[in-house]
Amino acid sequence: MVHWSAEEKQLIASVWGKVSVEECGAEALARLLIVYPWTQRFFSDFGNLSSPTAIIGNPKVRAHGKKVLTSFGDAIKNLDNLKGTYSKLSELHCEKLHVDPENFRLLGDILIIVLATHFTKDFTPACQATWQKLVGVVAHALAHKYH
Amino acid sequence: MVLSANDKSNVKSVFGKIGGQADAYGAEALERMFATYPQTKTYFPHFDLAKGSAQVKGHGKKVAAALVEAANNIDDIAGALSKLSDLHAQKLRVDPVNFKLLGQCFLVVVAIHNPSVLTPEVHASLDKFLCAVGTVLTAKYR
Protein backbone atom coordinates (compact mmCIF):
# COMPACT_ATOMS: atom_id res chain seq x y z
CA MET A 1 0.00 0.00 0.00
CA VAL A 2 1.23 3.49 -0.82
CA HIS A 3 2.08 5.75 2.07
CA TRP A 4 1.07 9.40 1.92
CA SER A 5 2.60 11.88 4.34
CA ALA A 6 0.47 14.64 5.83
CA GLU A 7 2.33 17.13 3.66
CA GLU A 8 1.61 15.13 0.50
CA LYS A 9 -2.09 14.86 1.35
CA GLN A 10 -2.18 18.61 1.92
CA LEU A 11 -0.45 19.33 -1.40
CA ILE A 12 -2.89 17.06 -3.21
CA ALA A 13 -5.96 18.57 -1.55
CA SER A 14 -4.89 22.17 -1.99
CA VAL A 15 -4.25 21.76 -5.73
CA TRP A 16 -7.36 19.67 -6.32
CA GLY A 17 -9.50 22.20 -4.51
CA LYS A 18 -8.61 24.78 -7.14
CA VAL A 19 -8.90 22.56 -10.21
CA SER A 20 -11.81 22.87 -12.62
CA VAL A 21 -12.37 19.21 -13.39
CA GLU A 22 -14.16 20.03 -16.63
CA GLU A 23 -11.52 22.44 -17.96
CA CYS A 24 -8.45 20.54 -16.81
CA GLY A 25 -9.87 17.21 -17.91
CA ALA A 26 -10.70 18.52 -21.38
CA GLU A 27 -7.30 20.15 -21.70
CA ALA A 28 -5.39 17.11 -20.48
CA LEU A 29 -7.13 14.72 -22.87
CA ALA A 30 -6.77 17.15 -25.80
CA ARG A 31 -3.06 17.56 -25.09
CA LEU A 32 -2.64 13.78 -24.85
CA LEU A 33 -4.16 13.37 -28.31
CA ILE A 34 -2.06 16.22 -29.72
CA VAL A 35 1.31 15.54 -28.07
CA TYR A 36 1.08 11.74 -28.46
CA PRO A 37 -1.06 11.38 -31.58
CA TRP A 38 -0.93 7.58 -31.55
CA THR A 39 -3.25 7.74 -28.53
CA GLN A 40 -5.99 8.75 -30.97
CA ARG A 41 -6.23 5.05 -31.82
CA PHE A 42 -8.67 4.62 -28.95
CA PHE A 43 -11.01 7.33 -30.11
CA SER A 44 -11.87 6.54 -33.71
CA ASP A 45 -15.53 7.26 -33.00
CA PHE A 46 -14.85 10.74 -31.64
CA GLY A 47 -15.23 12.44 -34.99
CA ASN A 48 -12.85 15.17 -36.10
CA LEU A 49 -9.37 14.78 -34.58
CA SER A 50 -7.59 16.05 -37.67
CA SER A 51 -5.81 19.04 -36.12
CA PRO A 52 -4.99 20.51 -32.71
CA THR A 53 -7.81 23.04 -33.20
CA ALA A 54 -10.26 20.26 -34.07
CA ILE A 55 -9.18 18.20 -31.08
CA ILE A 56 -9.41 21.10 -28.62
CA GLY A 57 -12.88 22.04 -29.87
CA ASN A 58 -14.18 18.48 -30.13
CA PRO A 59 -17.12 18.09 -27.73
CA LYS A 60 -16.52 14.34 -27.29
CA VAL A 61 -12.95 15.04 -26.25
CA ARG A 62 -14.12 17.62 -23.73
CA ALA A 63 -16.78 15.32 -22.33
CA HIS A 64 -14.45 12.36 -22.06
CA GLY A 65 -11.72 14.48 -20.52
CA LYS A 66 -14.18 15.59 -17.85
CA LYS A 67 -15.17 11.95 -17.22
CA VAL A 68 -11.54 10.87 -16.84
CA LEU A 69 -10.63 13.65 -14.45
CA THR A 70 -13.81 13.14 -12.41
CA SER A 71 -12.67 9.58 -11.89
CA PHE A 72 -9.31 10.94 -10.78
CA GLY A 73 -11.21 12.79 -8.08
CA ASP A 74 -12.38 9.41 -6.78
CA ALA A 75 -8.75 8.40 -6.41
CA ILE A 76 -8.06 11.50 -4.36
CA LYS A 77 -10.95 10.66 -2.02
CA ASN A 78 -9.57 7.13 -1.61
CA LEU A 79 -5.82 7.56 -1.42
CA ASP A 80 -5.54 4.66 0.98
CA ASN A 81 -7.28 2.19 -1.30
CA LEU A 82 -6.43 3.04 -4.89
CA LYS A 83 -6.28 -0.56 -6.09
CA GLY A 84 -9.73 -1.25 -4.71
CA THR A 85 -11.15 2.00 -6.05
CA TYR A 86 -9.89 1.29 -9.56
CA SER A 87 -10.41 -2.48 -9.61
CA LYS A 88 -13.42 -2.47 -11.94
CA LEU A 89 -12.04 0.32 -14.13
CA SER A 90 -8.81 -1.64 -14.45
CA GLU A 91 -10.68 -4.71 -15.65
CA LEU A 92 -12.64 -2.55 -18.08
CA HIS A 93 -9.52 -0.96 -19.57
CA CYS A 94 -7.95 -4.39 -20.01
CA GLU A 95 -10.83 -6.56 -21.14
CA LYS A 96 -13.08 -4.18 -23.04
CA LEU A 97 -11.06 -1.11 -23.95
CA HIS A 98 -7.69 -2.87 -24.55
CA VAL A 99 -5.66 0.16 -23.50
CA ASP A 100 -1.90 -0.32 -23.06
CA PRO A 101 -1.17 0.86 -19.47
CA GLU A 102 1.66 2.99 -20.84
CA ASN A 103 -1.10 5.38 -21.90
CA PHE A 104 -2.04 5.98 -18.26
CA ARG A 105 1.53 7.12 -17.62
CA LEU A 106 1.42 9.40 -20.65
CA LEU A 107 -1.84 10.99 -19.50
CA GLY A 108 -0.42 11.41 -16.01
CA ASP A 109 2.60 13.30 -17.38
CA ILE A 110 0.32 15.48 -19.48
CA LEU A 111 -1.84 16.28 -16.44
CA ILE A 112 1.28 17.47 -14.63
CA ILE A 113 2.05 19.89 -17.47
CA VAL A 114 -1.54 21.18 -17.44
CA LEU A 115 -1.34 21.77 -13.69
CA ALA A 116 2.01 23.51 -14.16
CA THR A 117 0.56 25.95 -16.70
CA HIS A 118 -2.39 26.71 -14.41
CA PHE A 119 -0.62 26.99 -11.08
CA THR A 120 2.76 28.32 -12.32
CA LYS A 121 4.95 29.27 -9.36
CA ASP A 122 2.54 27.65 -6.89
CA PHE A 123 3.39 24.33 -8.53
CA THR A 124 6.49 24.01 -6.39
CA PRO A 125 8.98 21.15 -6.73
CA ALA A 126 7.36 19.48 -3.69
CA CYS A 127 3.98 19.87 -5.33
CA GLN A 128 5.22 18.42 -8.60
CA ALA A 129 6.88 15.51 -6.82
CA THR A 130 3.68 14.70 -4.92
CA TRP A 131 1.51 14.90 -8.00
CA GLN A 132 3.91 12.81 -10.13
CA LYS A 133 3.75 10.23 -7.36
CA LEU A 134 -0.05 10.41 -7.43
CA VAL A 135 -0.40 10.02 -11.20
CA GLY A 136 2.10 7.17 -11.02
CA VAL A 137 0.14 5.24 -8.41
CA VAL A 138 -3.13 5.91 -10.22
CA ALA A 139 -1.59 4.51 -13.41
CA HIS A 140 -0.32 1.53 -11.44
CA ALA A 141 -3.76 0.92 -9.90
CA LEU A 142 -5.41 1.11 -13.32
CA ALA A 143 -2.98 -1.46 -14.63
CA HIS A 144 -3.27 -3.73 -11.60
CA LYS A 145 -6.03 -6.01 -12.89
CA TYR A 146 -4.49 -6.52 -16.33
CA HIS A 147 -3.97 -10.07 -17.41
CA MET B 1 10.21 10.48 -35.04
CA VAL B 2 10.89 13.46 -37.27
CA LEU B 3 10.83 17.16 -36.44
CA SER B 4 8.64 18.97 -38.95
CA ALA B 5 9.33 22.50 -40.13
CA ASN B 6 6.61 23.63 -37.71
CA ASP B 7 8.23 21.76 -34.83
CA LYS B 8 11.59 23.37 -35.56
CA SER B 9 10.05 26.80 -35.73
CA ASN B 10 8.12 26.24 -32.47
CA VAL B 11 11.26 25.06 -30.67
CA LYS B 12 13.36 28.00 -31.89
CA SER B 13 10.61 30.35 -30.82
CA VAL B 14 10.46 28.85 -27.32
CA PHE B 15 14.19 29.13 -26.86
CA GLY B 16 14.06 32.66 -28.22
CA LYS B 17 11.57 33.56 -25.50
CA ILE B 18 13.57 31.74 -22.82
CA GLY B 19 16.66 33.69 -23.84
CA GLY B 20 19.06 34.33 -20.99
CA GLN B 21 16.87 32.44 -18.54
CA ALA B 22 18.00 29.14 -20.00
CA ASP B 23 20.65 28.62 -17.31
CA ALA B 24 18.08 29.10 -14.53
CA TYR B 25 15.64 26.78 -16.32
CA GLY B 26 18.32 24.11 -16.51
CA ALA B 27 19.02 24.37 -12.79
CA GLU B 28 15.34 24.33 -11.90
CA ALA B 29 14.70 21.32 -14.14
CA LEU B 30 17.46 19.42 -12.36
CA GLU B 31 16.16 20.46 -8.93
CA ARG B 32 12.68 19.25 -9.86
CA MET B 33 14.04 16.03 -11.32
CA PHE B 34 15.93 15.21 -8.10
CA ALA B 35 12.80 15.98 -6.03
CA THR B 36 10.36 14.10 -8.26
CA TYR B 37 12.54 11.15 -9.29
CA PRO B 38 14.93 10.53 -6.39
CA GLN B 39 16.61 7.65 -8.25
CA THR B 40 18.18 10.26 -10.55
CA LYS B 41 20.28 11.46 -7.63
CA THR B 42 22.32 8.25 -7.92
CA TYR B 43 24.21 9.85 -10.80
CA PHE B 44 25.35 12.71 -8.57
CA PRO B 45 26.79 11.21 -5.38
CA HIS B 46 29.58 13.75 -5.64
CA PHE B 47 27.21 16.73 -5.69
CA ASP B 48 25.69 18.82 -2.97
CA LEU B 49 22.02 18.54 -3.94
CA ALA B 50 20.63 20.90 -1.29
CA LYS B 51 18.41 23.72 -2.48
CA GLY B 52 20.39 26.48 -4.14
CA SER B 53 23.43 24.28 -4.62
CA ALA B 54 26.12 25.95 -6.71
CA GLN B 55 26.96 22.59 -8.26
CA VAL B 56 23.37 22.07 -9.40
CA LYS B 57 23.28 25.60 -10.79
CA GLY B 58 26.52 24.96 -12.63
CA HIS B 59 25.28 21.68 -14.02
CA GLY B 60 21.94 23.20 -14.98
CA LYS B 61 23.88 25.76 -17.02
CA LYS B 62 25.66 22.95 -18.90
CA VAL B 63 22.40 21.13 -19.58
CA ALA B 64 20.75 24.34 -20.78
CA ALA B 65 23.69 25.19 -23.03
CA ALA B 66 23.40 21.80 -24.70
CA LEU B 67 19.66 22.25 -25.28
CA VAL B 68 20.25 25.74 -26.70
CA GLU B 69 22.99 24.38 -28.95
CA ALA B 70 20.66 21.64 -30.16
CA ALA B 71 17.89 24.18 -30.82
CA ASN B 72 20.30 26.42 -32.72
CA ASN B 73 21.40 23.47 -34.84
CA ILE B 74 18.06 21.79 -35.03
CA ASP B 75 18.65 20.48 -38.54
CA ASP B 76 21.56 18.42 -37.26
CA ILE B 77 21.16 17.70 -33.56
CA ALA B 78 23.33 14.57 -33.86
CA GLY B 79 26.17 16.63 -35.27
CA ALA B 80 25.80 19.41 -32.75
CA LEU B 81 25.77 17.03 -29.76
CA SER B 82 28.19 14.44 -31.12
CA LYS B 83 30.83 14.99 -28.44
CA LEU B 84 28.20 14.96 -25.69
CA SER B 85 26.85 11.76 -27.17
CA ASP B 86 30.33 10.20 -26.95
CA LEU B 87 30.66 11.38 -23.36
CA HIS B 88 27.34 9.84 -22.32
CA ALA B 89 28.15 6.55 -24.06
CA GLN B 90 31.70 6.13 -22.86
CA LYS B 91 31.86 7.81 -19.51
CA LEU B 92 28.54 8.89 -18.03
CA ARG B 93 26.34 5.98 -19.19
CA VAL B 94 23.18 7.51 -17.77
CA ASP B 95 20.40 4.97 -18.29
CA PRO B 96 18.28 6.08 -21.26
CA VAL B 97 15.08 6.17 -19.19
CA ASN B 98 16.37 9.22 -17.31
CA PHE B 99 16.37 11.54 -20.32
CA LYS B 100 12.57 11.31 -20.40
CA LEU B 101 12.46 12.25 -16.73
CA LEU B 102 14.63 15.34 -17.22
CA GLY B 103 12.64 16.18 -20.34
CA GLN B 104 9.38 16.08 -18.35
CA CYS B 105 10.87 18.39 -15.73
CA PHE B 106 12.16 20.81 -18.36
CA LEU B 107 8.64 20.95 -19.84
CA VAL B 108 7.25 21.67 -16.37
CA VAL B 109 9.72 24.54 -15.92
CA VAL B 110 8.79 26.05 -19.30
CA ALA B 111 5.10 25.61 -18.42
CA ILE B 112 5.53 27.37 -15.09
CA HIS B 113 7.43 30.37 -16.42
CA ASN B 114 5.69 30.70 -19.79
CA PRO B 115 2.23 29.16 -19.50
CA SER B 116 0.86 31.04 -22.50
CA VAL B 117 3.78 30.00 -24.69
CA LEU B 118 3.22 26.30 -24.08
CA THR B 119 0.17 25.82 -26.29
CA PRO B 120 -0.67 22.19 -27.10
CA GLU B 121 1.13 22.46 -30.46
CA VAL B 122 4.26 23.99 -28.92
CA HIS B 123 4.10 21.42 -26.11
CA ALA B 124 4.09 18.67 -28.74
CA SER B 125 7.04 20.19 -30.63
CA LEU B 126 9.10 20.74 -27.49
CA ASP B 127 8.38 17.22 -26.25
CA LYS B 128 9.50 15.82 -29.61
CA PHE B 129 12.64 17.96 -29.52
CA LEU B 130 13.55 16.80 -26.01
CA CYS B 131 12.98 13.17 -27.11
CA ALA B 132 15.24 13.75 -30.10
CA VAL B 133 17.98 15.13 -27.85
CA GLY B 134 17.68 12.10 -25.56
CA THR B 135 17.85 9.78 -28.54
CA VAL B 136 21.03 11.48 -29.80
CA LEU B 137 22.68 11.34 -26.39
CA THR B 138 22.02 7.60 -26.08
CA ALA B 139 22.58 6.73 -29.75
CA LYS B 140 26.11 5.38 -29.28
CA TYR B 141 25.39 3.36 -26.13
CA ARG B 142 25.67 0.04 -27.99
pLDDT digits (tens, 9 = 90+) for A14-55: 999 999 999 999 999 999 999 999 999 899 999 999 999 999
- DSSP one-letter code for B89: I
Q: What is the DSSP secondary-structure string of A62-75?
A: HHHHHHHHHHHHHH
Show residues of chain A in contact with B121, CB under 8 Å. 34, 52
B5-138 has CATH 3.30.360.10 classification: no
- pLDDT of res. A142: 96
Inspect the interface and report whether the beta carbons of A128 and B36 lie closer than 8 Å: yes
**Distance in Å, alpha carbon of B138 to nearest chain A alpha carbon:** 21
Q: CB pairs below 8 Å between A and B: how many?
A: 59
Inspect the interface and report whether the beta carbons of A121 and B111 lie closer than 8 Å: no
A50 touches chain B (CB under 8 A): no
With a pLDDT cut of 90, the percent of chain A lying above it is: 97
Of B37, B108, B121, the CB nearest to A116: B108
Q: Which stretches in chain B have pLDDT values below 50? A: none
Which among A5, A20, A26 has a CA at the least distance from the CA of A129?
A: A5
C-alpha dist (Å) from residue A71 to A62, A109, B109 = 14, 17, 27
- pLDDT of res. B36: 96
CB-based contact A112:A28 (threshold 8 Å): no
CA dist., res. A4 & res. A8, Å (int) = 6
- pLDDT of res. A103: 93
Average pLDDT of A96-107?
A: 93
Residues 15-34 on B with a CB inside 8 Å of A are 31-32
CB-based contact B7:B40 (threshold 8 Å): no
Which residues, at least 6 apart from A83, have a Cβ–Cβ distance to it below 8 Å?
A141, A144
With a cut of 80, say whether residue A67 has pLDDT above it. Answer: yes
Look at the alpha carbons of B108, B111, B117, B119 in this order and tell me if their dihedral is positive or negative: positive
Q: How far is CA B94 from the centre of its chain?
A: 14
Inspect the interface and report whether the beta carbons of B124 and A34 lie closer than 8 Å: yes
Average pLDDT of A108-112?
A: 98
C-alpha dist (Å) from residue B116 to A81, A113, B110, B111 = 37, 12, 10, 8
* Average pLDDT score over chain A: 96
B7 touches chain A (CB under 8 A): no
What ipTM does the predicted assembly reach? Answer: 0.84
Average pLDDT of A106-121?
A: 98
- pLDDT of res. A111: 98
All structural domains of chain A: 6-143 (1.10.490.10)
Look at the alpha carbons of B4, A118, A99, B96 in this order and tell me if their dihedral is positive or negative: positive
- pLDDT of res. A1: 80
B121 touches chain A (CB under 8 A): yes
Tell me phi and psi for residue A86, to 5 degrees. Answer: -100, 10
- pLDDT of res. B86: 96
CA dist., res. B51 & res. A66, Å (int) = 37
**Distance in Å, alpha carbon of B90 to nearest chain A alpha carbon:** 30
Inspect the interface and report whether the beta carbons of B118 and A118 lie closer than 8 Å: no
Per domain, the residue ranges of chain B are: 5-138
C-alpha dist (Å) from residue A42 to A134, B57, B68 = 24, 42, 36
C-alpha dist (Å) from residue B132 to A84, B2, B3, B70 = 39, 8, 8, 10
pTM, two decimal places: 0.91
CA dist., res. A136 & res. A141, Å (int) = 9
Inspect the interface and report whether the beta carbons of B118 and A35 lie closer than 8 Å: no
CA dist., res. A120 & res. B115, Å (int) = 7
Cα angle B61, B64, B68; round to 5: 135
